[in-house]
């Protein structure tokens, strides 16, 4: 089994929900019954990277599988932290893999191929069995300078062509976007521009797991004579994990959040959680002026170094309006003239490159809405892939002849999970 994620529910009818926040923040996962029913055939669970939509389901669902987990060091550390909060956590066997390791799990031989995304140690998986060979990309982009870790090495993927890969299971998130994605390293110029020209305090919000972005912000703080502090539990946790796994540079020093209020305004740089409009996160508290360590005022600056995840437009707009009403300046990635956010997913040109390198017989677009999967399938076909199997949740993909999709044979409803 590759990955075991979790997501937030979207309100079914936002206009009429009395408690939209509760509904939106209900945690949901894919119903794992199909795999649970075949647990005797399950050899193990591989986690490709530490994002919630790939690892977040484990603390809720692992007891239904009870198989070892194979993953790299950073993801293992994120997972151990999550498992420390559940009763069965100590029973989970986590096997740490080094990128480029090859490992046998039951009848599967798996090679971990380092790739680039938007957090440390993302890996694609070359899965070989006597029946077929599948390259599972995980989430990825082609970044020659990802700030943390090595730039992508195309030789690893060009080599796969010689293995005659049957199917490539691949990320579709940005298949509708032309050209190439922006490199993570390009965010430094934009963040420097906005932070350097800010007259008073600066608060940047970004995804907690984006260690590269956090390091870039810390570097910009050094260059602009500001001191960096962190507001919000998930940021503190992630930076702690980055420290323990050797990804946090020792010279990136942070100050205690309780000292921020005593600094000259032009020396303050806070990184805060809550970029998606979560009212209880640090940014939500700053918007309502209820944060215990800092009260913002006119001419302070908020920088959204993130994207708006579809469905969160309304709460983010409310947050932005609350700041603007208090004359606090807001910079959002979509209207910034210089890049302050880089997506971690491949645009059309990157997908084409990957198909040209790997040359699979079959493309299996995953990780996206139907329009993304459809477009991804077309991109694969124009790049010379013989067949694209564009499916839906609940479909079974038959990868050896006859190649086909068996529609809707698996119950793939979403289930609510909670502790």
Please give the residue ranges that form the binding site for Zn ion (CB under 5 A): 51, 53, 139
* Cβ proximity to Zn ion, 51 vs 82, nearer residue: 51
Nearer to Zn ion, 93 or 371 (CB): 371
Distance from C-alpha of 122 to C-alpha of 390, rounded to nearest angstrom: 24
Shortest Å distance, C-beta 289 to Zn ion: 33
Shortest Å, Cβ 52 to Zn ion: 8
Output the smallest distance, CB 196 to Zn ion, in A. 30
Measured from the CB of residue 366, what is the shortest distance to Zn ion in angstroms?
A: 10
In terms of Cβ atoms closer than 10 Å to its own Cβ (0-12, 13-18, 19+), residue 350 is buried
**In whole angstroms, how close is the CB of 48 to Zn ion at the nearest point?**
8
**220 Cβ contact list (under 8 Å, min separation 6):** 188, 191, 192, 195, 196, 269
The span from the CA of 369 to the CA of 378, in Å, is: 15
| 287-320 exposure pattern, b = at least 16 Cβ within 10 A, e = fewer | beeebebbebeeebbbbbbbbbeeebeebbeebb
Please report how close the Cβ of residue 411 comes to Zn ion at its closest, in angstroms.
22
**Closest CB to Zn ion among 111 and 345?**
345
Q: How far is the CB of 172 from Zn ion (least distance, A)?
A: 11
Q: Which is nearer to Zn ion, 142 or 331 (CB)?
A: 142
Nearer to Zn ion, 24 or 51 (CB): 51
Nearer to Zn ion, 242 or 296 (CB): 242
Give the nearest distance from C-beta 344 to Zn ion in angstroms. 6
CB closer to Zn ion, 345 vs 375: 345
Which lies closer to Zn ion via its Cβ, residue 53 or residue 266? 53
């Amino acid at each position: 089994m590759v990955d075991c994620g979790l997501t937030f529910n979207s309100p079914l009818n936002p206009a009429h929900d009395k408690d939209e926040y509760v509904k939106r923040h209900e945690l949901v996962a894919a119903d794992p019954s199909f795999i649970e029913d075949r647990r005797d055939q399950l050899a193990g669970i591989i986690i490709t990277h530490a994002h919630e939509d790939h690892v977040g389901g484990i603390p809720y669902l692992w007891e239904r599988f009870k198989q070892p987990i194979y993953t790299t060091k950073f993801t293992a550390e994120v997972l151990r932290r999550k498992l420390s909060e559940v009763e069965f956590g100590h029973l989970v066997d986590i096997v740490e893999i080094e990128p480029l390791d090859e490992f046998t799990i039951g009848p599967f031989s798996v090679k971990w191929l380092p790739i680039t995304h938007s957090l440390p140690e993302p890996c694609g998986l070359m899965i070989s069995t006597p029946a077929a060979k599948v390259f599972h990309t995980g989430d990825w982009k082609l970044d020659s300078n990802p700030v943390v870790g090595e730039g992508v090495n195309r030789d690893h993927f060009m080599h796969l062509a010689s293995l005659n890969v049957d199917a490539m299971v691949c990320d579709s998130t940005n298949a509708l976007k032309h050209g190439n994605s922006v490199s993570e390293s390009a965010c430094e110029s934009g963040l420097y521009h906005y932070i350097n020209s800010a007259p008073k305090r600066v608060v940047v919000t970004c995804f907690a797991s984006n260690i590269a972005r956090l390091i870039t912000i810390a570097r910009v703080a050094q260059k602009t004579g500001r001191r960096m502090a962190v507001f919000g539990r998930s940021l503190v946790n992630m930076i702690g994990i980055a420290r323990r796994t050797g990804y946090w540079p020792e010279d990136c020093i942070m100050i205690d959040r309780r000292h921020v209020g005593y600094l000259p305004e032009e020396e303050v740089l806070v990184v805060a959680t809550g970029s998606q409009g979560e009212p209880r996160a640090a940014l939500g508290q700053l918007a309502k002026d209820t944060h215990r360590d800092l009260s913002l005022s006119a001419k302070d600056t908020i920088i959204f170094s993130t994207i708006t995840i579809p469905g969160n437009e309304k709460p983010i707009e409310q947050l932005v309006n609350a700041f603007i009403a208090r004359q606090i300046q807001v910079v959002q990635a979509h209207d910034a003239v210089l890049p302050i956010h880089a997506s971690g997913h491949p645009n059309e040109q990157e997908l084409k490159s990957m198909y040209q390198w790997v040359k699979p017989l079959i493309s299996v677009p995953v990780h996206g809405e139907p329009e993304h999967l459809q477009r991804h399938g077309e991109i694969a076909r124009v790049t010379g892939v013989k067949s694209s199997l564009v499916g839906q949740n609940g479909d079974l993909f038959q990868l050896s002849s006859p190649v086909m999709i068996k529609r809707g044979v698996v119950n793939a409803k979403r289930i609510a999970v909670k502790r």
